[in-house]
């Protein structure tokens, strides 16, 4: 009973974090390249062809294909929650070199989890997009797990060779293009350091380093990578120094700015060290050195992207991972120093991050609930058009309401042919809609005529779908108050053969509608 009471806070903390991710993914429809990688399937032949003609990311590509193959929203949600929690857990546990939960983790885990959420460069595409998570969360999970074991082996001077760590080394090397070179570099630097210190090198480090380098080679030297980049003359046609100059002056600072909250958290922790003499005297200097090292590596993962013609925001997740590690090293050192000011400071920073997280999460949950409603509308359109024998038709694009920032949006890329193949038609096109149409799925239905139907909810959303173009004004009774709206002032869109109209009419129940 006593043991159960001791583990209850830890279990509750991890369960709440799990549910937070699970719930958002539960409301996230498959989208963008999810359709393409479902169609890719899981056969070795299709993935070998993909490797030879498109991408060297065999780990990420197989991960996404396997998850999508289940066609289960439950599996999607569990995989998103598990990958996020395990990623954060390895970040938390790397400084201590043990996976066993200890006292400091009651502060360190929520600090890292909150920071992961509120400072993520592109949360929607790195965590809640299945293909994006496979490329930038799962692969970074393998990297941070490898870093944990490699760091633990180094500080404990372990000599044993583990086949599992060897496999993990290969997977970390075959992660993604911004991080992979640094996995190999860290391996080589670890060998060089041990050789300098001991005049000899452990065989396990050599094995793990060779596996990591092999993974990097498989990723970077993929024939598919060379084929994919062959048409990028606008970038590769420039001299290398011009590419570096453009990258440094036009791209790096904008991308590094995406994780500014992580810098604030890191700075606050560093200030605790700088301005408290007692902390400076007692803090573990090795942790500070490791924090500085991972910050340098993190910046390097951004600088190295000069080699790529494109630099999507989601790629910054690799850079972000190293800054999270820096936060973890310093926060852990502050907590282990035993100085009250250090513990209070870390607690205060964690509470501040928690407050921002609660605000951000409430926006995210509301926004993703609405996109789930929009997906119901999209699926009804697809079913209706296919039943009518249409081979080409339009669905509305997703519309996001206010989130913490645009990084919370999942990807809106849409390939009409791929969507068509998935639904066994020629093509499904998307059309931009500048309003939230989820009310059509979950609002009260008002039949106005054979050609016109209205939808409303008590939150003030009001939409009309009509087979005829509307003119004039619409009069509503909202909680007994009359409100007249000119049709031309309503937001509108034309979807297939129907005219859609939308207006925000204020909170209340609509009891009467007339033209």
Tens digit of pLDDT for each residue in 83-120? 999 999 999 999 999 999 999 999 999 999 999 999 99
Q: What percent of the chain lies above the pLDDT cut of 70?
A: 98
The gap between the terminal CA atoms of the chain, to the nearest Å, is 68
CA-based R_g, the chain, Å: 26
On whether both 252 and 157 belong to a single domain, the answer is yes
How crowded is residue 276: how many other Cβ atoms within 10 Å of its Cβ? 19
CB 429 within 8 A of CB 392: yes
User: Which of 309, 337, 364 is at the close of a domain?
Assistant: 364
Domain boundary at 364, 398, 415, which?
364
Residue 234 pLDDT more than 90? no
Higher pLDDT, 354 or 197: 354
Domain count, the chain: 2
Residue 430, in any domain of the structure: no
The answer to whether residue 410 sits within a structural domain is no
Residues 323 and 449 in one domain: no
Annotate 307-356 with DSSP letters as a single string: GSS---GGGHHHHHHHHHHHHHHHHHHHHHT--HHHHHHHHHHHHHHHHH
Of 331, 364, 397, the residue at which a domain comes to its end is 364
- Which domain range does residue 177 map to? 16-364
Q: Residue 223 above 90 pLDDT?
A: yes
- Which residue is it, tokens 């992979």? 180
Residue 167 has a pLDDT of: 96
Comparing CA positions, the residue from 426, 409, 408 lying closest to residue 417 is: 426
Q: Which of 148, 411, 167, 439 is nearest to 294 (CA)?
A: 148
**pLDDT for 85:** 98
Tell whether 419 is covered by a domain: no
pLDDT tens for 266-304 read 999 999 999 999 999 999 999 999 999 999 999 999 999
Model confidence at 515, pLDDT cuts 50, 70, 90, reads: confident
Cβ atoms within 10 Å of 344's Cβ, excluding its own: 12
Residue 5 confidence (pLDDT): 42
The string of pLDDT tens digits covering residues 17-76 is: 999 999 999 999 999 999 999 999 999 999 999 999 999 999 999 999 999 999 999 999
In a domain, 505, yes or no: yes
Q: Is 275 exposed, middle or buried (0-12, 13-18, 19+ CB in 10 A)?
A: exposed
478/338 same-domain check: no
- Give the integer Cα–Cα distance in Å for 190 and 177: 21
Long-range contacts of 196-203 (CB under 8 A, 24+ apart): 202/153, 202/157, 202/158, 202/159, 203/159, 203/161
Coil, strand, or helix at residue 27?
coil
Residue 182: name the closest of 171, 192, 172, 195 by CA: 172
Confidence of residue 321 (pLDDT cuts 50, 70, 90): very high
3-state secondary structure of 15: helix
In this predicted model, what pLDDT tens digit does every residue of 473-509 receive, in sequence order? 999 988 888 999 999 999 999 999 999 999 999 899 8
pLDDT (tens digit per residue) in 173-202 = 999 999 999 999 999 998 998 888 888 888
**450 and 355 within one domain:** no
pLDDT range class, residue 1, cuts 50, 70, 90: very low
CA geometry: angle 487, 488, 491, nearest 5 deg? 85
Which pair of structure tokens corresponds to residue 387? 């039943």
- Assess whether pLDDT exceeds 80 at residue 140: yes
In 3D space, the residue among 103, 20, 72 whose CA is nearest the CA of residue 368 turns out to be: 20
Whether residue 218 is found in the same domain as residue 96: yes
Q: Report the pLDDT averaged over residues 433-447.
A: 95
Mean pLDDT of 305-333: 96
Instruction: Give the pLDDT confidence score for residue 7 in this predicted structure.
Output: 61
Both structure tokens of 410: 């999942």
Averaged confidence pLDDT in the chain = 94
Are residues 116 and 231 both part of a single domain? yes
Place of tokens 């496979």: 134
Dist. CA 370–CA 437, nearest whole Å: 8
CA-based nearest residue to 307, from 247, 224, 228? 247
Best CA proximity match to 176, nearest among 207, 136, 147: 136
Residue 82: pLDDT band (50, 70, 90) is very high
Nearest C-alpha neighbor of 325 from the set 130, 150, 66: 150
Residue with tokens 């924090």: 291
């Amino acid at each position: 009973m006593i043991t159960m009471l001791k583990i209850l806070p830890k279990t509750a903390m991890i369960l709440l974090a799990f549910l937070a991710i699970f719930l958002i993914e539960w409301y996230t429809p498959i989208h963008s390249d999810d359709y393409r990688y479902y169609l890719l399937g899981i056969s070795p032949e299709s993935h070998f062809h993909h490797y030879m003609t498109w991408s060297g990311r065999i780990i990420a590509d197989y991960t996404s294909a396997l998850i999508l193959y289940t066609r289960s929203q439950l599996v999607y949600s569990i995989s998103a929650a598990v990958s996020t929690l395990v990623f954060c857990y390895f970040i938390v546990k790397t400084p201590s070199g043990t996976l066993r939960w200890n006292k400091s983790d009651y502060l360190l885990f929520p600090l890292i989890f909150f920071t992961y959420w509120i400072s993520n460069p592109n949360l929607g595409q790195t965590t809640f997009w299945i293909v994006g998570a496979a490329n930038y969360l799962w692969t970074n999970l393998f990297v941070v797990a490898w870093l944990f074991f490699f760091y633990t082996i180094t500080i404990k001077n372990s000599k044993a060779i583990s086949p599992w760590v060897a496999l993990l080394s290969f997977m970390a090397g075959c992660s993604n293009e911004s991080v992979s070179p640094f996995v190999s570099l860290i391996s080589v630097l670890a060998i060089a350091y041990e050789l300098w210190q001991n005049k000899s090198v452990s065989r396990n480090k050599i094995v793990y380093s060779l596996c990591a380098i092999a993974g990097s080679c498989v990723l970077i030297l993929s024939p598919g990578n060379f084929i994919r980049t062959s048409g990028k003359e606008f970038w590769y046609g420039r001299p290398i120094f011009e590419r570096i100059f453009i990258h440094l002056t036009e791209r790096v600072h904008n991308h590094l700015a995406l994780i500014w909250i992580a810098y604030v958290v890191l700075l606050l922790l560093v200030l605790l060290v700088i301005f408290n003499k007692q902390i400076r005297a007692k803090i573990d200097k090795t942790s500070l050195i490791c924090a500085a090292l991972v910050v340098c590596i993190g910046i390097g993962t951004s600088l190295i992207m000069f080699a790529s013609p494109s630099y999507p925001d989601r790629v910054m997740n690799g850079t972000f991972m190293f800054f999270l590690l820096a936060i973890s090293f310093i926060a852990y050192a502050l907590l282990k120093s035993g100085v009250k000011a250090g513990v209070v400071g870390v607690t205060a920073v964690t509470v501040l991050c928690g407050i921002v997280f609660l605000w951000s999460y409430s926006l995210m949950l509301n926004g993703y609930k609405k996109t789930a409603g929009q997906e119901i509308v999209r699926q009804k359109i697809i079913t209706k058009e296919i039943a009518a024998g249409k081979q080409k038709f339009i669905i509305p694009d997703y519309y996001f309401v206010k989130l913490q920032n645009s990084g919370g949006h999942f990807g809106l890329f849409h390939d009409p042919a791929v969507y068509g193949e998935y639904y066994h038609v020629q093509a499904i096109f998307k059309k931009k809609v500048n309003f939230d149409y989820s009310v059509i799925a979950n609002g009260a239905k008002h039949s106005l005529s054979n050609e016109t139907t209205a939808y409303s909810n008590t939150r003030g959303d009001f939409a009309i779908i009509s087979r005829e173009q509307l003119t004039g004004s619409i009069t509503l009774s909202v909680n007994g108050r009359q409100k007249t709206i000119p049709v031309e002032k309503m937001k509108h869109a034309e979807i297939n053969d129907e005219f859609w109209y939308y207006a925000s009419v204020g909170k209340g129940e609509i009891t009467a509608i007339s033209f």
